[in-house]
Structure 1
Amino acid sequence: MVSLILRYINYIIGAAFAFVLLIALWGTASELITNPPKATAEEEFHLEPEPLALHSDGPFGTYDYRQVQRGFQVYKEVCSACHSLKQVAFRDLEKIGYSEAQVKAIAAGWQIEQPDVNKDTGEPATRPNVASDRFPLPFANDVAARAANNNAIPPDLSLMAKAREGGPAYIHSLLTGYTDPKTFTHDGKSLAKEFPDFTVPTGLHFNPYFPNLNIAMPPPLTQDGQVQYQDGTRATVDQMSKDVSAFLMWTAEPNLAKRHATGFGAVIFLLIFTGLTFGAYRNIWRGIKH
């Protein structure tokens, strides 16, 4: 009898607990329905990358190596001061049209030398780059990188076109997307009016294509003619941004053209093989009636 009473008491306590949880859940749900949370500035004003048409686009895409070379020039003269390219070797530049002699000259003249060790003293030293070396890091370590970049470590760019959604389009939009938050509008809405308390922290820069709108990297491409192209192309900010985006697409996928050619050949082979297989099937079963 006592155990039966205790069981009923447990049922009552459990039911009461479940009832309280349902009340709390209903209160929370009704509050969200009647008073939904206001969207943040990042949700309202973050922009998707603008479309960027490159020769490498599509299943039959290949690289415009003149553009890729211009992009390398932009990286060399602008981006390499902060960003590494540690997955790429100097000799890889032969794949985009540089001669062996040109690659050796580029490697030897690179502003940062390779870390080495003095054979006589064992002390740290440096040596000139050779074609087989990978591009050297712009900073000795992460501490030095943070100290030079407002406590932010510039990311390696070797695979950046594959690591970010939008790829080269994201890179191009980011490089050309710096603007003044006080005058920035999107879909007819003003950032300053919708979020009057929005401020850009000291040391950061407003860019609507960056996920949280504020990026540590200052605008790297600031004016037309910042790079003097060797092929005579007019170096506008937009052109330099497109070219370096094409170059970073190549560093992320240097075998793209070969992969496309191999895939196309494989598809042709499969089509021919399917036709031959179907013909053999019809030939074998031709005289047999069901």
Structure 2
Amino acid sequence: MAQLNQSDEIDKNDTTQEQDGKGVVHLSKHQEEKQSSESSAFEQVMQQMNIADRKSFDKKYTQLWNEASDENELLTLMICEIDFFKAYVDNYGHQGASFMLLVIALALKTTCEEHDCYLGRYRGDEFGILIKGGDIETANEIAEKLRFAVEKSRTEHKFSSVSNIVTLSIGVSSFYPTSMQVVMKQASRALTNAKLAGRNQVSGHLDTTLESSSSISNSQQEAELANELLQQEALKKEEALRKEEELKKAEALRLEELKKEKEKQKQLRLEEEERLEEEKKKQAVGMYDMDPFF
């Protein structure tokens, strides 16, 4: 069976620029060592919580795939993504993001244990969940409980566009095993639908066909591709609107600061004028006292 891609690190976008000079290079190495140490500690805590890493998750996925295929049972894959994770990292830092992920992992783990689900770290800000057997209705109910469990943790996220706490978007794909690649694509598409619909919600996909992905007609593939492109375009527009809103806020803040600075300078000028006027008065009084004709 084809394996899933390796997981991305939380700090994949975190780089330290190096310039000429030993002092700057030394600082860069120190930060890299610190990040490596923090990442190692984070992974150790995840292991102690029995949260599978990507390698273990892939292995379990293959195992449950084969079992469901042999027993003709439904297999459900969920991909859970933390909403506006990058904004969280940018504002709370990597340590804050690591702690938040542990809190969210614990909330998911508790719910998964109640429903016999397999939980693993899927990517930096994503968790994967596997359920063998059952039906689509039960799978969606569990997904909704997982989403609510994260919401109930009340983890602060002041920089989210959907809430002031950490929320979760979940893509659900329930299927009878045919092609791993098709299933992963369906789960990812369901996740995209959840995000397009406003985030902090569950979106599901049910495929009950026993045909292989090669039996899909060219017209169906073209339609799926067109739909996927539309979804990607919608996400791009959403991101563009978010950036535009951020720029507007930044500009408003800049104008407000400029206004305050002008008022401050005006106040300083008035105070300076008052001081000079006071000095003139004192000088005039002094000349009056010194004039013998008065």
Q: Same fold (TM over 0.5)?
A: no
Greater percentage in strand: 2
Greater percentage in helix: 2
Structure showing greater relative contact order (alpha-carbon pairs closer than 8 Å, 6 or more residues apart): 1
TM-score by length of 2: 0.23
